[in-house]
Amino acid sequence: MFLETEPTKRDIQEAHERIINQIHRTPLLSSSAINKIAGCEIFFKCENFQKVGAFKFRGASNAVLSLSESELKKGAATHSSGNHAAATALAAKMKYVPAYIVMPHTAPQIKKIAVEGYDAKIIYCEPTLQAREEALNKVVEETGAAFVHPYNNYSVIAGQATCAKEILEDHSRLDYIIPPVGGGGLASGTCLSAKYFSNKTKVIGAEPKSADDAFRSLRDKTIHPSVNPKTICDGLLTSLGDKTFSILSQNLEEILTASEETIIDAMKIIWERMKIVVEPSSAVALAVVLEKKEKFAAKKIALILTGGNVDLKNLPF
Amino acid sequence: MFLETEPTKRDIQEAHERIINQIHRTPLLSSSAINKIAGCEIFFKCENFQKVGAFKFRGASNAVLSLSESELKKGAATHSSGNHAAATALAAKMKYVPAYIVMPHTAPQIKKIAVEGYDAKIIYCEPTLQAREEALNKVVEETGAAFVHPYNNYSVIAGQATCAKEILEDHSRLDYIIPPVGGGGLASGTCLSAKYFSNKTKVIGAEPKSADDAFRSLRDKTIHPSVNPKTICDGLLTSLGDKTFSILSQNLEEILTASEETIIDAMKIIWERMKIVVEPSSAVALAVVLEKKEKFAAKKIALILTGGNVDLKNLPF
C-alpha cells in the first residue's frame, strides 16, 4: 500500500532499496564546453537514459512495488499520455500484473504505441480533465486496480526522491540541484533528499515562463491551476497537487523561470555539446541557469535531465 | 616523428599511453531494446562522446604527440572539412602549436566555425582534390608543418587502434567488432588491435552500399577510387590509401554493405532507443547487422559509433 504521510528519510532509503534492481543507476555527466558557456560547474543527471526514457519510472516502480500481494494482483491504473503512462505500464509488466492507462483519444500515435509496447490496456476518453477522471474512476471501480497518481502520491514522490539521493551519493558538495517543475513530484522528492542527505545543497525549481503556475502558486501561497499553457515543455503542463504544494512550500528555495527561446537554446546546446537526446522539459533547468549567470557564477550545480522522449520529426531547431 | 612501418602491438600500447590523458575513455553502452530488435548482443563504443565529437581525435592526437620538439614547433597541417580537421586543430592547440587546415571554400559554415573555434588557421581552396593537395603542399612548404593525413598515416592508424583496444579491455569475449569504413584508418587500427589484443574477435567493416569502394577494392585486390558517392554518410566518402588497403587486405574478415534506407532506420533506432546523438556514418555499423540478422544471431558484437557531429537542422528523419 502507498505511503500515507510525507516520506521520511527512511522511506526514501527503503524506496531506493525496493527499486534499485529494476532502475538504471543513471550517470552524472559534465561538459567542459557547457561549463564554459554557463560560467559554473554543471553535473547533468541523465534520466533520459532511465528505463522508459524518463525519471518517471522511479516513482511508478516504487508505487507498484509498494502494493501488497493482493493489491498487486488487481493491477495499476493511471491517467496520462506521457512518460508516467509508459512508466506505470512497464512497472506493472515487470510484476506480471495488468496496467490500465486512461488516455485522451487525441494523444499522439507515438505515445499510444509506447504504452501498448508495454502490454498496457489503454482506455480512451475525451480530452478533458473531467472525462479523464471519470474514465479513471470507472476502471478503478471495475478492476480494483490501484491508482498511481503521476505526482500527488507520497510513494511516487519517494521514488522520484531516489534521483537526487543518487546525485548526492555521486557528488556531495553541490550548491544547488535544479529539477524542472511540472506537477511537482520530482521537485518534491528532490527537496526531501536534499534535506535528508545533504547539509549544504539547496533546491531551486525550474519552470517555463509561459507555464509558471507553480511559481505563482508558491508566491501566492495557494495552488493556481495551469490553464492552457503554451510551452514546448510538454512534460510541464500540469499544476501542483496538495501534497507537492505542501512539500515545495516548506522546502524549495525558489522557482526560476525561463523563456521559450532560452529553453530551445539550452536544448540545442545539450544535444550539440553532449551528444545526447533530451526532451524540451529537460532543458528548462539549464535555461534558468543561462538566464541567471551572475547568480550561479562558479557554483556547483546538478541539473536533472528528466527524459529523452521526443518526436524526432518535430524538433524545435 | 611518425611511425614508418605498420604499427606493432607495442606501437599501439605506446600510442595509448601517449594520448590517454588527453582523450576521453568513452563508454561501451548497450540497449536491451536494440538487442531485441537485432537478435544479438550489441555493445556500442560511444566515440560520439570523444573530444571534438569523433574518434578522429585519437589518431590526430597520437600523430601530433609523436612529433619531436623541433617538428612540433612548426605545427600540424591537414586537408579535411570534417572531424579530422577539428581533431587536428584541437590536438595542435593542446600543444600550443599552430594548425593549418586546408578546406574547400564550399564547406558548410558549421564546419568552419568548429575548426576556427580551436584557433586553427584555415586555408580555403577550390573544391577539387587537385586544389586541395596543391594548397596543402604549399602550406607545408611555407611553414614546415607536419602533414597529418586523415587515415593513410601509421601514427594516425595506431591512434585509431586505441579505440578497439579499449573495447577489448572492457569486453574480451566479443565475436565481432564492426567499424564503419571510409578511408580505412579506423578499420585498420581495429584490425590490428583485434589481432594483438584478442584471440577470438574478428573485424568486419561496414560501408554504405552507395559508397562501396572499399568493398570493391578488397574484392578486386586493387584500390578503387570513390567517385562522387551519393550517401548520407558524409564521413565515409573517401577511398582507401595504400597503407589502409594493405592492412585491411591482410586482416579484415569482410566488408558488409547496407542501403541508405537501413542506415537512416539504424540512426533513428540509436537516437530513439539510446537517447544519444550519432552522425549517419556511425549508423552504418548497426545497419549491416540489421540487414544480416541470421549471420549475427546471438553473437556478441561491438559497433563503433564514430561520431556525433550532425547538423540538427538537417536530419534525415
Please tell me whether residues B110 and B226 are part of one structural domain.
no
Task: Examine the fold and report which residue of B147, B164, B198 is the final residue of a domain before the chain moves on.
Answer: B147
- Spatial distance between the Cα atoms of B269 and A101, rounded to a whole number of angstroms: 26
CATH code for position A269: 3.40.50.1100
What span, in angstroms and rounded, lies between the C-alpha atoms of B232 and A104? Answer: 38
Residues B286, B209 within the same domain: yes
Are B225 and B182 in a shared domain?
Answer: yes
Would A158 be classed as within a structural domain? yes
Residue A4 belongs to a domain: no
Q: Where are the alpha helices (DSSP H) in chain A?
A: 9-19, 32-38, 56-65, 69-73, 83-94, 109-117, 129-143, 154-170, 185-197, 213-220, 242-251, 260-269, 280-291, 293-296
- Same domain? For A140 and A274 the reply is no
Structural domains in chain A (count): 2
Does residue B120 sit in the same domain as residue B246?
A: no
Terminal-to-terminal C-alpha distance of chain B = 44
Average pLDDT over residues A184-201: 98
A311 domain residue, yes or no: no
Hey, what's the torsion of the CAs at B241, B246, B250, B254, to 10 degrees? 20
pLDDT for position A242: 98
Q: Which of B48, B308, B313 sits opposite A317 (nearest CB)?
A: B313
Task: Summarize the confidence of residues A97-120 as an average pLDDT.
Answer: 90
Q: In which domain, by residue range, is B109 found?
A: 57-147
Residue B97 lies in a domain: yes
Q: In this structure, are B123 and B266 located in the same domain?
A: no
DSSP characters over B15-28: HHHHHTTTS----E
Whether B275 and A312 lie within 8 Å, measured CB to CB: no
The 10s digit of each residue's pLDDT in A231-242 is 999 899 999 999
Residues of chain B with pLDDT under 70: none
Q: Which of B101, B120, B147 is the last residue of a domain?
A: B147
pLDDT in tens, B30-89: 999 999 999 999 999 999 999 999 999 999 999 999 999 999 999 999 998 789 999 999
Q: Over 90: is that where the pLDDT of A129 sits?
A: no
Per-residue pLDDT tens over the stretch A2-17 = 999 999 999 999 999 9
Residue-level pLDDT at A113: 87
Claim to verify: residue A96 and residue A181 sit in the same structural domain: no
A268 inside domain: yes
CA separation for the pair B167, B164 (Å, rounded): 5
- Contacting B with CB below 8 Å, chain A residues are 48-49, 53, 268, 271-272, 275-278, 308, 312-313, 315, 317
A23 occurs within a structural domain: yes
Contact between chains at A272 and B312 (C-beta distance less than 8 A): yes
Residues B210 and B180 in one domain: yes
Are residue A18 and residue A88 in the same domain, yes or no?
Answer: no
Q: Sheet with B146-147: list strands edge to edge.
A: B121-125, B99-104, B76-79, B146-147
Whether residue A223 is found in the same domain as residue A205: yes
Contact at CB, B53 and A315, closer than 8 angstroms: no
Burial zone of A259 (CB within 10 Å; 0-12 exposed, 13-18 middle, 19+ buried): middle
Q: Rounded CA gap, A24 and A49, in Å?
A: 8
CA B26 – CA A119 distance, rounded (Å): 35
Cβ-defined contact of A275 to B277 (cutoff 8 Å): yes
Min distance A246 CA to chain B CA atoms (Å): 34
Measured between CA atoms, the residue of chain B closest to residue A46 is B275
- pLDDT tens digits along A70-86: 999 999 999 987 899 99
pLDDT over 70, % of chain A:
100
Does residue B257 sit in the same domain as residue B135? no
To the nearest whole Å, the CA of B44 is away from the closest chain A CA by 14
The answer, yes or no, to whether residue A288 has pLDDT greater than 90, is yes
pLDDT recorded at residue B214 = 98
- Number of Cβ within a 10 Å radius of residue B1: 9
Nearest alpha-carbon partner for A270 in A57, A46, A52, A82: A46
Rg of chain B on CA atoms, in Å = 18
* Distance, CA of B7 to CA of B161 (rounded, Å): 9
Say yes or no: B268 and B227 in one domain.
yes
Give domain status of residue B99, yes or no: yes
A1 found inside a domain: no
pLDDT of residue B107: 84
Cβ pairs A/B, distance under 8 A: 36
Map residue A163 onto helix, strand or coil.
helix
Q: What are B's interface residues with A at a Cβ cutoff of 8 A? A: 48-49, 53, 268, 271-272, 274-278, 308, 312-313, 315, 317
B38 is written with which cell numbers?
537485432
Give the end of a domain, one of A92, A118, A147. Answer: A147
Residue B16 vs residues B61, B99, B152: alpha-carbon distances, Å: 10, 22, 19
